[in-house]
Structure 1
């Protein structure tokens, strides 16, 4: 019988025979766990969670955050690990086994992975530039006595006789904007200017590290993560101890955890909690599928999902203490409220606010070096995972073409990512980074993971998926997990997607207001990945022979293909 758009509910396909389909395996179980933790724990844990937490009710925010993790993030985290481990293949060819008309999801995931690589590695390159600049007796962002400073530069940290105005800029802010980015040489997205050769060298070094970590597969990347996934925790602990001993640290902690229960009545708070947990754990990026596909068939992915997702969430919570002890110190030194120094978000928190505090600590050079080393390792882990998802998906889809040529394919992919990042290295590159961050992997990835959940739970069938899990683990997922996969998690994702599309605040960076045409371009970027899904569905329906009904048994009874997995 010719391949139909969506398979019906007969027995689940057997996993590939390792004798006829040789596949790499993790050398050690810990290699896999560290790779998953390294991907999930990224720069967003350090800058996004603390900001969202205090903006949405402090300690009260932990209630919606925990609920969204329990009913949304963790179930989908578990689902992706189980799918990857059972089918032992990447994000594109896996749909041949689940529901072929949804194969466009795999292509969409790969395109999103490329968009993320275009801007995310540039942020790591900024951290590398700071890391190099930290090797000096006096940190270059500690004073206003530098060639790049302007008359507006005001160093008022710990000084009572300095007047701060709306035009004042801290030395840390001017170092970031005028020295690292040189954004003053750009007029905006319509005039991004030339390439910063210093950042070009930093990005080249980053991609070189990434290439030699991924070129041999999980055998090499599994060893690298022993450093890149564990070092951040050592540094976080050091920074937490140092922050806790600073004057005013308690003010920051109180501000971070002080609950504002009225915030729980706001829909926006629940949307932020759901979005944060989904972006933090990372289902839908194809990374969990790829990493789990190199596991042994009977590995306990259920336990892995619980452990690694708990580590991720606890790391986000811990990062809040690291950030806010320092913000409390800054507020104490400036004699202002913590809220007045906690307004920065995103990269600005990591490249302006925190470095400014470090510059005024005893032993500033040491703390700057380990802080930016932590940022580099956090970023590299996530890059390893994101690109491995693309590599595994494409190589598994075209094994005849790419078998035995992994090194060349990885080199070609890294080259494409490097060339795609060039616009982010210009004088106006920060504007491009912001645009790609907002639209390259925003609503599109949430919509992708929504369709993925529906395809697995409704089309492939929750019973078939449960049988697959039982074949691997020896037990069937409980009622809680089935309810989350079938109804609760898809409902939460639909809620986030709709809310995000209806609420589009103006996009700004520093004093730059993004023009309307750039917002339209951003929507096109987001749509360019998601459009793969309906296009492939139409292609499959047009080119698949036969009617829209397929024979499920040898009898004449038929079932509409759309209901294939529900029967």
Structure 2
């Protein structure tokens, strides 16, 4: 009976058309805005060239192992996070909804940044930001006010945001293969071509070599600083889209005999390669900026985050020959990277809703897109949007995702004792085999390093606050974000599944562990 009920659901599940579709979609999710504006600054402030050593170690000991964990869960249990964890153990369903709640929160503000990039792509035609990009970005474009809950719309943000959500809706309605797969087949190669052209142009700017020298010259003393190692693990962790449901969902659409670990290696190293390319392009450009100002790269400000993209780069673009073209390439890259990441977030939420309420893909896509779009426009297209975005981003990434990873690793390896089963599953379907070392990295090293990161961040946020924002504001948009995700995890777990046989029957995962010992 159990087999008969579980098997049709497995066979009717959407699938990627081919391995390349899955790999490009996973790369599209991993390669996002943070690769371009976060990695270069983190590397430079953490030992420059020497940072590549802890970065590579973090990739091999935490990034790839946890990526494999996501792949194994999604591929073996054939579902988005809530149902995948429920199939492992009924009581584990809340973790899946916690991850889905994080996807919801991250998606609603991620769309705003894509909208900014779309606007700046248009602004590049006439360099509309003028001689003072900082004032233009904060005061004229975003019209930033005090940290309050504003309902005053900023039309220059609202309109492109609405276009972003319309695009997300269309892609979701087209499905995994015809929508997400084809989008990434076009956008990822296009992103690589455009960004490579941008980097090549940057390398020929006066002062570019000084920028590269600043980026690659190693500060070996930095390797003795524990914070540098924590920064490396944090960068790998945040850039690979792991531990908050995306890769579980994407892996669940892979064919039964798909090569999972080899795909994971391609995705991980492609992501890191793009980060390195971004570092080269960014610092070649910053070298030009320092050259124009007759100063050193170390004296420049705004080397990371939105300030790098929407203040520092526009300043450089305004001063360089052919700045219009350079600006168009740069902001087109941000749009492409953002869209491919946002659609992966949307699919994670949509698939979870589709499975829980047993509705079709189109209805789930409509509900999720409209709901997320409405909340996104209400919170982040107003005069308080930038401050709200900054706060929600800090807590969702540095508290929510890290907590999710710790809990997932501990529950999977130590509480549910699924480590051996998942390792055997990966080895049964993949050419690159993982040994017992994988269980150690996922079950011990990962939680220890991430636990230290989490405790350190929580103490800092409690004792020092954040960016001087009022306590009530941090409570609402910071800690309130985490509270919201917890509430989502409880409420949606308590809602009965529409198809009891779909969620409660013994799921017959393939291949059986006893037949595939390794």
Q: Which residue of 2 aligns with 1:242?
A: 201
Count of residue correspondences: 489
Question: What aligned pairs does 1:263-278 form with structure 2 within 5 A after superposition?
Answer: 263-278=222-237
Of the two, which has the highest radius of gyration? 1
Secondary structure class of the residue paired with 1:259: coil
Selected match of 1:351 from 303, 310, 321: 310
Secondary structure in structure 1 of the residue aligned to 2:174: coil
**1:389-428 alignment, distance < 5 Å:** 389-399=348-358, 402-403=359-360, 406-421=361-376, 422-428=378-384
Q: In the alignment, does 2:388 pair up with 1:432?
A: yes
Alpha-carbon offset, residue 481 of structure 1: 1.4
- 1:3 aligned partner: none
Q: Is the 8 A contact 2:165 2:373 kept in 1?
A: yes
Equivalent positions of 1:266-305 (< 5 A) are 266-305=225-264
Tell me if structure 2 keeps the 8 A contact 1:40–1:312: yes
Instruction: Decide which moves more: 77-86 or 320-329.
Output: 77-86
What TM-score, normalized to structure 2? 0.89
Any conservation in 1 of the 2:262–2:431 contact (CA below 8 Å)? Answer: no
1:542-561 matches, cutoff 5 A: none
Contact 1:60 1:261 in 2 (8 A): yes
Assess if the C-alpha contact under 8 Å between 1:507 and 1:514 holds in 2. Answer: yes
Shift of 1:293: 0.8
**Mapped partners of 1:96, 1:202: distance in 2:** 38
CA contact (8 A) 2:97 2:492 kept: no
CA contact (8 A) 1:142 1:360 kept: no
Task: Choose which of 22, 36, 42 in structure 2 pairs with 1:52.
Answer: 42
- Is 2:69–2:422's contact at 8 Å kept on the other side of the alignment? no
For residue 16 of structure 1, report the CA deviation from its aligned partner: 4.7
User: 1:184-235: CA deviations, max 9, x gaps?
Assistant: xx2x112636101221111111111111111121121100111222222112
Counterpart of 1:526 in structure 2 is 482
How far apart are 1:91 and its partner, in Å?
A: 0.6
- In 1, distance between residues paired with 2:400 and 2:97? 13
Which of 70, 79, 85 aligns to 2:69? It is: 79
TM-superposed CA distance for 1:18, in Å, is 4.7
SS at match of 1:92: helix
Superposition deviation, residue 38 in structure 1: 0.3
- Give the CA RMSD over aligned residues: 2.4
Aligned to 1:209: 167
Superposition deviation, residue 506 in structure 1 = 4.3
Name the counterpart of 1:161: none
1:441 aligned residue: 397
Secondary structure of 1:369's counterpart equals: helix
Matched, 1:106 2:96: yes
Match of residue 195 from structure 1? 153
Q: How big is the shift at 1:384? A: 0.6
Give the superposition deviation at 1:372. 1.0
* Separation (CA, whole Å) in 2 of partners of 1:450 and 1:487: 10
Q: Give secondary structure in 2 for the equivalent of 1:283.
A: coil
Cα 1:225–1:535 shift into 2, 3 Å: closer
Q: Is 44-53 or 220-229 further displaced after alignment?
A: 220-229
C-alpha distance in structure 1 between counterparts of 2:249 and 2:263, whole Å: 15
Q: More deviation in 277-286 or 14-23? A: 14-23
Aligned to 2:114: 124
Residues 232-287 of structure 1: per-residue CA shift (max 9 Å, x gap)? 21122111111111111111111111222222222222221111111111211211
**Post-superposition shift, 1:20?**
6.7
8 Å Cα contact 1:121-1:206 kept in structure 2: yes
Under a length normalisation based on structure 1, what TM-score does the superposition of the two structures give? 0.82
Unpaired runs of at least 5, structure 2: 497-518
